[in-house]
């Protein structure tokens, strides 16, 4: 029966605990090992942690089958060791508090409502103040919020400056991206630029007919080795399999195929004189 690999833990499956095997993903497995705080130890394919080392938020909630299943990105954080890892729930609460503070600051920056019915005290006629019983009543009519604490004001001002700095940084990054896209738009097509924004090796690219045609021309000129060399250098080009798939269903009408002749001309221009020998084969010619 599997036993828990965590230090100072004797739980096992035969004691009624749910055992969770170490993930195969290298980055997640490394994070599990780091949180276990076991020096010079590497888990095997049969190493487990029991359910007591995972916070409640790391399991899927409200499952129909009632099973206790770990989330795909679940991380263990509950260990009886010195210098234990920080709990995820505490970090979420701190992040939520920070977001709430920023929203409060943005709310304070909104302009005060000064609609048609609003009137400052210094714009009121003097006679309206004199109608009050005494000067104290007139002063009491103007309700002011108590001044904030000095520390709170300093924190608010610091956060405001940080928000403005981040907004300027985002605007500069957007301008830089637009400038880069504009500079390479004369070299690459729109679908190629979109492909460069995706992770390398992504299959969610819809290549246009123009890009496929230009890629086939490069394939004819450079050959398979040269074409694959460009793709290895992260040039946004379709795979050879994509080119074959796009060209295998082409229908050719009777007559001279000008497009094919153009492709042959491109390929022929890169050949040496001794390589330009061709054979004309005719099969099943019907004579009228």
Residues 6+ apart with CB under 8 A from 33: 22, 41, 42, 43
**Listed residues 31, 55, 85: the one ending a domain:** 85
pLDDT of residue 217: 81
**d(Cα 21, Cα 183) in Å, to the nearest integer?**
50
Question: Looking at the domain assignment, is residue 255 inside a domain?
Answer: yes
| Among candidate residues 66, 71, 79, the one with its CA nearest the CA of residue 11 | 79
**Listed residues 66, 85, 104: the one ending a domain:** 85
Q: Could you list the mean pLDDT of each consecutive 10-residue stretch along the chain, which spans 288 residues?
A: 88 90 91 88 90 90 83 89 77 60 57 51 47 46 52 78 92 87 82 82 82 86 88 88 81 71 74 73 61
The total number of structural domains that make up the chain: 2
Question: Looking at the domain assignment, is residue 61 inside a domain?
Answer: yes
Question: Looking at the domain assignment, is residue 108 inside a domain?
Answer: no
Question: Looking at the domain assignment, is residue 95 inside a domain?
Answer: no
Signed CA dihedral, 175, 176, 180, 183: sign only: positive
Question: Looking at the domain assignment, is residue 205 inside a domain?
Answer: yes
Could you list the residue range(s) of the whole structural domain that residue 252 is in?
198-273
Question: Looking at the domain assignment, is residue 118 inside a domain?
Answer: no
**d(Cα 59, Cα 51) in Å, to the nearest integer?**
10
**d(Cα 228, Cα 233) in Å, to the nearest integer?**
9
Question: Looking at the domain assignment, is residue 49 inside a domain?
Answer: yes
pLDDT of residue 90: 58
pLDDT of residue 255: 74
| Among candidate residues 232, 235, 243, 175, the one with its CA nearest the CA of residue 207 | 243
pLDDT of residue 146: 56
**Listed residues 56, 85, 114: the one ending a domain:** 85
Longest dimension (CA), the chain: 121
| pTM score | 0.34
Question: Looking at the domain assignment, is residue 162 inside a domain?
Answer: no
pLDDT of residue 4: 93
Which contiguous run of DSSP H or E holds residue 19? strand 19-21
**d(Cα 67, Cα 34) in Å, to the nearest integer?**
28
**Rounded (5°) CA angle 22-27-28:** 35
């Amino acid at each position: 029966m599997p036993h828990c690999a965590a230090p100072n833990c004797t739980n096992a499956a035969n004691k009624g605990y749910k055992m969770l095997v170490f993930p195969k993903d290298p980055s997640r497995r490394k994070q599990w090992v780091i949180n276990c705080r076991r020096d010079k130890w590497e888990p095997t394919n049969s190493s487990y942690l029991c359910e007591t080392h995972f916070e409640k938020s790391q399991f899927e909630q409200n499952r129909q089958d009632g099973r206790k299943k770990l989330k795909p990105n679940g991380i263990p954080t509950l260990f009886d060791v010195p210098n234990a890892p920080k709990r995820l729930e505490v970090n979420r609460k701190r992040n939520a508090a920070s977001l709430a503070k920023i929203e409060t600051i943005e709310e304070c920056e909104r302009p005060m409502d000064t609609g048609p019915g609003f009137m400052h005290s210094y714009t009121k006629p003097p006679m309206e103040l004199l109608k009050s019983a005494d000067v104290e009543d007139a002063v009491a009519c103007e309700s002011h919020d108590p001044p904030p604490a000095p520390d709170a004001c300093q924190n608010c001002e610091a956060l405001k400056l940080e928000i403005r700095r981040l907004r300027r940084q985002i605007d500069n990054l957007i301008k830089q991206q637009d400038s880069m896209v504009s500079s390479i738009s004369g070299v690459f097509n729109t679908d190629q630029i979109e492909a460069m924004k995706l992770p390398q090796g992504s299959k969610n690219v819809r290549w246009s007919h123009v890009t496929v045609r230009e890629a086939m021309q490069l394939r004819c000129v450079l050959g398979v080795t040269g074409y694959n060399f460009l793709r290895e250098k992260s040039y946004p080009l379709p795979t050879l399999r994509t080119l074959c798939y796009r060209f295998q269903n082409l229908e050719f009408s009777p007559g001279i195929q000008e497009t094919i002749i153009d492709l042959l001309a491109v390929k022929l221009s890169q050949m040496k004189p001794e390589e330009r020998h061709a054979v004309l084969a005719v099969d099943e010619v019907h004579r009228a």
